[in-house]
Amino acid sequence: MVSQSFDIQLNVINLRCPMPLLKTKQALSSMTAGQVIKVLCTDAGSWRDIPAFIDLTSHTLLSSEQRDEQYVFLIKKGD
């Protein structure tokens, strides 16, 4: 993964579905457009759920990576 800066880190490791997605939505709603959030989670459903959610919004999924049992997402807040 290319090292990318981010404004906020959200650690939802060990939280089970649907909490990682809900916490990500909450964090994005409190951010300003253009900010980047890094989401760390271990729930396998997040690998599918977070990109699917982003596809339905104005946000941009900058990267997603699976490291062993951990999933890392970089999301840029849309308008």
Backbone angles phi, psi at 22, to 5 degrees: -65, -45
How much of the chain is in helix, strand and coil states, percent to nearest 5?
A: 25, 35, 40
CATH superfamily of 8-76: TusA-like domain (3.30.110.40)
Domain positions in the chain: 8-76
For 28-44, the DSSP string reads HHTSPTT-EEEEEE--T
pLDDT at 4: 83
What residues form DSSP beta bridges with 60? Answer: 76
Q: Which of 8, 13, 15, 17 is catalytic?
A: 17
What digits encode the pLDDT tens for the residues 28-70? 999 999 999 999 999 999 999 999 999 999 999 999 999 999 9
Active site residue 41: no
Residue 1 has pLDDT above 80, yes or no: no
Residue 3 has pLDDT above 90, yes or no: no
